[in-house]
Structure 1
Amino acid sequence: MLVSTAKLLSERRSEIPGRVLFMFQPGEEGHHGAKFMLDEGLLNVSKLKDGTESPIKAAYALHIVSSIPAGMVGTRGGPVMASSDVLSITITGKGGHASEPFRTLDPIPVACEIVQSLQMMITRKIETFDPAVVTITKLIAGTTTNVIPETAKIEGTIRAVSEKTRKKVHDSIRRVAEGIAAAHEMQAAVEIRTGYPVTVNDKPSVDFALDVAESLLGEGKAVHLPSPAMGAEDFSYVLNQIPGAMVFLGGTPQGVNPATAAPNHSNRVMFDETAMAHGIALYSSLALRTLGVTLN
């Protein structure tokens, strides 16, 4: 969609009273591509030919989703997508024969206790309207059936929609894991690898984007979403520096219920490709309207 938008606007460059920067970011899925582009000077655009400054006024990104019908878009002001961090906890005990657990310090039950307690920590310690998610997706321990291992390892993901809650969850994970391990005479080494920050939309930019979208798609086709998505996006780095918005572009085919449609990362997901035309039109209109071009 962005390539087609670049081609469309480039063909009319002489009619556009300003400049448009197209950001083709690599490494969006976990590799901080946007951050590297910013560090390399993405926003340090050159002056115009007459020597005047040409600062970037706004930034917009579209992300197609299967949870919104094709022909619609949705977004919200404030937090729109979560932060994303990787959690790793290694519990160290003392291995031995499985027939004599009293001679060992078995890390596996302790790992299980930590997993359960992390879920309780989320429900009891984290504010309902400033939520977080801790999901353990991997538990690694042992090599055979008759040996208690020396260590057990827990891995998973942490999501939050505010930096305050993000920090609180990080601190709570360390306290829970280390405390439970110590209660069983073991050690827990907690590693949290910081990932993408919370994606925070600028409210005026959201209102502007939805107004532009409704003028293209029709009344009622551009909606304010009630809550953030707990997925993460490295466009968050851009929005930390300039105002703008991440907008979700509906791609669910006609006749498919968005509530039960296969999610984006599923091997069964299907998109209505006419949504791409909507995306090209919206990208182009956002650029032109931002530069003051009146569209009929």
Structure 2
Amino acid sequence: MSGPTDVPTLPDTRLAGLLAEARALQPHTVELRRKIHRHPEIGLQLPATQTAIQEALTDLPLEITTGKSTTSLTAVLRGARPGPSVLLRGDMDALPLTEETGVEFASQVDGRMHACGHDTHVAMLASAARLLAGRVDRLAGSVVFMFQPGEEGYHGARHMIHEGVLDAAGSRVERALALHIWANRPTGVISCRPGRMMASSDSFVVRVTGRGAHGSMPQNGIDPVPAAAAMVGALQTMISRRVNVFDPAVLSVTRISAGTTNNVIPETAELEGTFRTQSEQTRALVRDELPKVCEAIGAAHGCRVAVDIQPGYPPTVNDPVEAGRVLALAGGVLGPDHVEEWADPIMGAEDFSFVLQRVPGALAFLGACPPDEDPGQAAPNHSNRVRYDEDAMPHGVALYAAYALDTLGLG
């Protein structure tokens, strides 16, 4: 990754004081974050989280609507003058993990944990709403705050788009920003890049059907296990031989299931996994080739093969202009030592990609490594031991506000 000095800053006296104001709001931010962290919810139905957000926003001049098919929440702040609208996103859902962080505000729900920092996203977005409400007389346009459930594989953004979040202010939002906290980067550092930022994410299940037999007499059956095993290697060969190395794909077989005991050749075997790509072209290629490889290997072993591919999220692609503006704003508002251009896209996926398919915008990472840990060794996102430095949150609050203010102008 390039260093902080490689990124242009956007010094702007009109945005002076945002970080100080965000720090003054830190008690509100921490209180909401910890409340949500103690009571994590999974998927599209997050009633306790929705209620906590509503309570945190109740005294602000916001137009609040809740989702029909999910427990999403959309809040609109209208400026003193008409103008365009800008969207700020914070996702709300947790993961199915048992927390082992040892923090005093740890999850109180067995098997659920905010291991991807969405609790911090919600808290930062709520405090950004509070900060911007205090400057509403300087806004020419509207800010749409998108509190989104179901980011972790449930297509929450797509549900909210279908219910009109992009038109919540009365006209289509013109710019959009999402921040994602990152446990393995220094606290308060904003990382972003133009173009490809994150990958697509699709899943697959391959069911291989043969004919069962006694384990001592395989000639009397058709064993699906060797066929399934051959598919694992062949799929990796397909990736390395069919996919352009400069437009990469990653395919992982993450589950293999077959059999019931040691002396029975099973009738079926099953593979499950995921593939990630950085472009729709390579995504389509892998989606077409995967069944062909598995079916051909199955036929060579005398097995029937059924392949089910479940579409996930498209690649997350930042608008080059908006990504550059995020980096410049971060440098100007947070300081040049708190911004870096992310060198390479990553193969994780994000459903903010659905928003970026429709609206110019960007997704950026916010570093939050605990001060007592080395960023390279700290427990990462999706670990049940991940911890985030709460001192990073004012940086996110300030950047959210700066992005909205810079988009809508200052009176």
- Aligned with residue 145 of structure 1, among 262, 279, 298: 262
Shift of 1:109: 1.0
Shift of 1:121: 1.4
- 2:202 alignment partner AA: D
Long gaps (5+) in structure 2: 1-123
1:230-269 alignment, distance < 5 Å: 230-269=347-386
Shift of 1:161: 0.6
User: 2:138–2:409: 8 Å Cα contact kept in structure 1?
Assistant: no
1:21 is paired with a residue of what secondary structure? strand
Corresponding residue for residue 282 of structure 1:
399
Shift of 1:32: 0.4
Q: Tell me how far apart the structure 2 counterparts of residues 147 and 155 of structure 1 sit (CA, whole Å).
A: 22
2:336 is paired with a residue of what secondary structure? coil
Q: Tell me how far apart the structure 2 counterparts of residues 218 and 198 of structure 1 sit (CA, whole Å).
A: 30
Q: Tell me how far apart the structure 2 counterparts of residues 226 and 121 of structure 1 sit (CA, whole Å).
A: 27
Matched, 1:75 2:192: yes
1:124 is paired with a residue of what secondary structure? helix
Shift of 1:293: 2.6
Corresponding residue for residue 239 of structure 2:
122
2:181 is paired with a residue of what secondary structure? strand
Q: Which whole-Å deviations, capped at 9, do the CAs of 1:266-295 have from their partners, x for residues lacking one?
A: 01212111111110011011110111238x
- Aligned with residue 142 of structure 2, among 12, 19, 22: 19
Q: Which whole-Å deviations, capped at 9, do the CAs of 1:230-262 have from their partners, x for residues lacking one?
A: 111110000000100000001112353322222
Q: Tell me how far apart the structure 1 counterparts of residues 304 and 136 of structure 2 sit (CA, whole Å).
A: 63
User: 2:180–2:366: 8 Å Cα contact kept in structure 1?
Assistant: yes
Q: Tell me how far apart the structure 1 counterparts of residues 168 and 261 of structure 2 sit (CA, whole Å).
A: 59
Long gaps (5+) in structure 1: 48-53
1:3-152 alignment, distance < 5 Å: 3-47=126-170, 54-152=171-269
Q: Tell me how far apart the structure 1 counterparts of residues 320 and 138 of structure 2 sit (CA, whole Å).
A: 29
Q: Tell me how far apart the structure 1 counterparts of residues 362 and 298 of structure 2 sit (CA, whole Å).
A: 43
Q: Tell me how far apart the structure 2 counterparts of residues 218 and 140 of structure 1 sit (CA, whole Å).
A: 52
Shift of 1:8: 1.7
When the two chains are superposed, the root-mean-square deviation of aligned CA atoms in Å is 1.3
Corresponding residue for residue 309 of structure 2:
192
1:43 is paired with a residue of what secondary structure? helix
Shift of 1:46: 4.6
Q: Tell me how far apart the structure 2 counterparts of residues 171 and 55 of structure 1 sit (CA, whole Å).
A: 35
Matched, 1:164 2:287: no
2:367 is paired with a residue of what secondary structure? strand
- 2:158 alignment partner AA: K
- 2:302 alignment partner AA: E
- 2:299 alignment partner AA: A
- Aligned with residue 182 of structure 1, among 289, 299, 304: 299
* Length-normalised TM-score, structure 2: 0.68
Deviates more, 1:216-225 or 1:168-177: 216-225
Q: Tell me how far apart the structure 2 counterparts of residues 161 and 46 of structure 1 sit (CA, whole Å).
A: 32
Q: Tell me how far apart the structure 2 counterparts of residues 117 and 258 of structure 1 sit (CA, whole Å).
A: 36
- 2:186 alignment partner AA: P
Q: Tell me how far apart the structure 2 counterparts of residues 248 and 289 of structure 1 sit (CA, whole Å).
A: 19
Q: Tell me how far apart the structure 2 counterparts of residues 91 and 31 of structure 1 sit (CA, whole Å).
A: 27
Q: Number of residues paired by the alignment?
A: 288
* Length-normalised TM-score, structure 1: 0.94
Q: Which whole-Å deviations, capped at 9, do the CAs of 1:12-71 have from their partners, x for residues lacking one?
A: 322322210000011111110000111111112354xxxxxx542200000001121112
